[in-house]
Homo-oligomer: A and B are copies of this chain.
Amino acid sequence: MLKIQGLRKSFGDIEVLKGVNLELKTGEILVIVGPSGGGKTTLLRSINYLEKCNAGTIEIDGKYLMHEGVYASKGELKEIRKMIGMVFQGFNLFPHMSVLENIIEAPTRVFGKPKAKAIKEAQDILGFLGLTEKENSYPFELSGGQKQRVAIARALALEPKLMCFDEPTSALDPALTDEVAKVIKSLSQKGMSTLIITHDMEFAKKAADRIISIDNGIIIDDHIYDNGIND
């Protein structure tokens, strides 16, 4: 599903990714851990074409986002990016839209879902994330954990083939964290591949098929943990 080879990225003089190799199977849930500043966020952003890398190959679902340092054409990029979902460390909710509007924006505008259907599905997601009461609130009225759940809901509503989470449970209590793990697991059974950055080892072990560790821009441990399902 996802194949990364020799990925390098620098900010100015500092090389943040120093040749990352990574493979993810369809339906697999891969958790990336590692010390702060190790390059996890940068890696995820690179997969989403939010950072331009200096060298390497990124292949997603058989299409090359980047091939040996050369990026795909604009049209291809657009197609590839449609398959990927992302939950940011900083959420990036749209402040001028209510919770519901945030969630249905992409399904209705990008995938042309009928509005009523999109709302129905959004409400379902909000339901099992415990946010039903907040569907008409604006982001500034939400607590940290509520914002985070809206960000998750917004990404889930896209039904992407590859989902990337950057610390999705940092502001969530253990009960909600379990809930999120369950949702991800059930979606992966329907074929969604998932990349998760987290510091929460409990959550990691609950959700992951495999856990790898990245430090100082390089994958240092490819098999910290393996639940054995996929292998």
Contacts and interface: CB of A to CB of B under 8 A. Distances in A.
B33 A144 contact: no
A227 interface: no
For this chain, the copies found in one complex come to: 2
Interface string A161-182: 0000001011111111100000
A68 B74 CA distance: 64
A143 B36 contact: yes
A22 interface: no
A88 to B, nearest CB: 10
B176 A35 contact: yes
B173 A170 contact: no
A201 B174 contact: yes
Given A145-B37, A200-B200, A171 B167 contact: yes
A146 interface: yes
A8 interface: no
A210 interface: no
Contacts of A199: 145, 169-174, 177
A219 to B, nearest CB: 15
A188 interface: no
B201 A36 contact: no
A225 B152 CA distance: 31
A69 interface: no
Interface of A: 11, 33-37, 41, 89-90, 130, 141-146, 148-149, 167, 169-177, 199-202
22 contacts: A11-B141, A35-B130, A35-B175, A36-B130, A36-B143, A36-B148, A36-B149, A36-B172, A36-B173, A37-B143, A41-B144, A89-B171, A144-B167, A145-B199, A170-B170, A171-B199, A172-B199, A174-B199, A174-B201, A200-B200, A201-B202, A202-B202
